[in-house]
Structure 1
Amino acid sequence: MKSLRSLFTHIRRHPAAMVGVILLALQIVAIVFAPLLSTHSPTEADPISSLQPPSFEHWLGTDVSGMDIYSRIIYATRINLLISISAVALAFVLGVPIGLLIGYYRGFVSSLIMRLFDFIQSFPVFVLGMALVSVMGQEIWNVAIVLAVLFTPMFARLIRAEVLSLRERPFISAARCSGATDASIMFRHILPNALTPAIVQVSISIGMAILLTAGLSFIGAGVRMPTPEWGLMVSSGAQQMILGVWWVSLFPGLAIVISVLCFALLGDAAKELSDPTTRTRR
């Protein structure tokens, strides 16, 4: 209860955090109430209404297939956040225990896993993402799994760095002297103290995952039409922008900006909240 009061107080005192919470609330509303908020079907094409500018009938206009852009943006919130949050959650679940183990037990296996992470992170993100998606198929869950593979080394490295710092602390030596097992030391004493950087990284990683999802769809390596997805919508209207048809790409592009900004602001707020020196100074 005390931690919740501290969180609410922190949000009230920081306008940026408040903006992030408001933007997140708007996205949650769009996810939950998409059928009520949309005015047209997000996947039903109407060639007669192709490339219509914003109007009372189509609030944000239509794309080249005649699909309503406003309705597709609303439904795309579900797709983009589902992929991004699922990918980061899976990466967190995999990366944290791996980082804990390779940080606590040092040896050949730990070094081998670190070299594997080096290999994965040495590839350009989009190149590796394109390769994995092309092998697994352009489905929503496949994109989420690919992003999870890309993010897992980051969480593992964060936890490993914290574990390497904590495992030699006096309170860990005291736990060993009291007869605590390795499992007890890792999960009761080290892990709770090592989680903060990874938890802060979650919000930032979701924003990165949204950008990667949109980027993969933009270059044709993400989800496929007619699935409503922001990057795919930007891609479908990119060629028409030079002809003055600006609305097809502009509005889904703004949706990407708002969503990424939301999680960036929340990540900064979480970082400040987790830093005791910052809380004291403020």
Structure 2
Amino acid sequence: MTFRFWLRRPAATLGAALLLLQVIAIVFAGMLAPYSPTMADPLHSLEPPSWQHPLGTDVSGMDVLSRIIFATRINLLVSITAVAAAFLIGVPVGLLIGFYRTIASTLVMRLFDFIQSFPVFVLGMALVSVLGQEIWNVALVLAILFVPVFARLVRAEVLSLRERPFISAARCSGAGDISVMFRHILPNAMTPALVQLSISIGMAILLTAGLSFIGAGVRMPTPEWGLMVSSGAQQLILGVWWVSLFPGIAIVLAVLCFALLGDQLRIFLDPTKRAPGKAR
């Protein structure tokens, strides 16, 4: 049933295919990349796409294709690590502040309000500037930004579930708070958070690339899509389009992949939308 569900949907198939390509790039980057992603070759600076360099070279003579392949590791691993950490922290926090109506729960919500009152990109830029432009500092900043998202989603579900009749029945059978929270409420409150997980990875990819684009993220010569777009943007006026175009396409495809998978996961987890004939 699960395999047929995904196979019937072109959007799911496309998302899975794009994800597979990225996994292959991450695992086999050293075998797929024709050149070193960080070795400069000034004699071949800004060469257009050719047989020798299929996607051309940048201003330092580094091969664009090799850098895109290796950048997949940076962008995806940073984004997935950050969102996974936010998920693991945000879900339990959302469960607790939704189940217990205490002053501490109110204070946590006000903290989330404070974090989310800032524009995400501006707050991310400020935090990276304070912590330092290291790869895992970027992941830490993204995790901080996404914790309130998952916590709020789970809290909203918990608030709607905690007064349901089946919770009252569980209490009548002798279940304590821990049992009610983790055996009865949490499994029923996870669907929005699981769907948001995929969408947030796409958002994290955009934020990682955006921070690097403005110089507040990963630093040269580390291969990273946003940094590559920023480097090539300076030569666009000279007609050197390939340095920015191909990393930009990589960002689009990566974000599209997780957006498609998130949308299809939402349909899969909703029994009312899984009926035959409703393929998308």
Band of TM-score, shorter chain? over 0.9
Query: Of the candidates 233, 239, 242, which is equivalent to residue 247 of structure 1?
Result: 242
| 1:219-252: CA deviation from partner (whole Å, max 9, x where unpaired) | 0010100000000000000011111000000000
Query: Of the candidates 127, 136, 139, which is equivalent to residue 141 of structure 1?
Result: 136
Query: Of the candidates 113, 118, 122, which is equivalent to residue 113 of structure 2?
Result: 118
| Aligned-pair CA distance for 1:280 | 2.3
| 1:57-88: CA deviation from partner (whole Å, max 9, x where unpaired) | 11100001110000000000000000000000
1:15-164 to structure 2, matched below 5 A, reads 15-164=10-159
TM-score, normalization by structure 1 = 0.97
| Aligned-pair CA distance for 1:155 | 0.1
**Letter of the 2:160 counterpart:** S
| 1:161-204: CA deviation from partner (whole Å, max 9, x where unpaired) | 00001100111111111111101110111001101110011110
Residues 1:221 and 2:177 are matched in the alignment: no
Other-structure match for 2:175: 180
Other-structure match for 1:201: 196
Residues 1:236 and 2:231 are matched in the alignment: yes
CA distance in 1, matches of 2:3, 2:217: 37
SS at match of 1:116: helix
**Letter of the 2:201 counterpart:** I
CA distance in 2, matches of 1:37, 1:248: 19
Count of aligned residue pairs for this structure pair:
277
Q: Structure 2 stretches of 5 or more lacking a match?
A: none
TM-score, normalization by structure 2 = 0.98
CA distance in 2, matches of 1:139, 1:92: 22
| Aligned-pair CA distance for 1:48 | 1.0
CA distance in 1, matches of 2:82, 2:2: 26
Other-structure match for 1:3: none
**Letter of the 2:93 counterpart:** I
SS at match of 1:200: helix
> Following TM superposition, where does structure 1 have runs of at least 4 consecutive aligned residues deviating by more than 4 angstroms?
none
1:252-267 to structure 2, matched below 5 A, reads 252-267=247-262
Query: Of the candidates 173, 185, 188, which is equivalent to residue 190 of structure 1?
Result: 185
CA distance in 2, matches of 1:39, 1:105: 56
SS at match of 1:30: helix
| Aligned-pair CA distance for 1:7 | 2.4
| Aligned-pair CA distance for 1:275 | 1.0
SS at match of 1:280: coil
| Aligned-pair CA distance for 1:8 | 1.2
SS at match of 2:275: helix
| Aligned-pair CA distance for 1:115 | 0.6
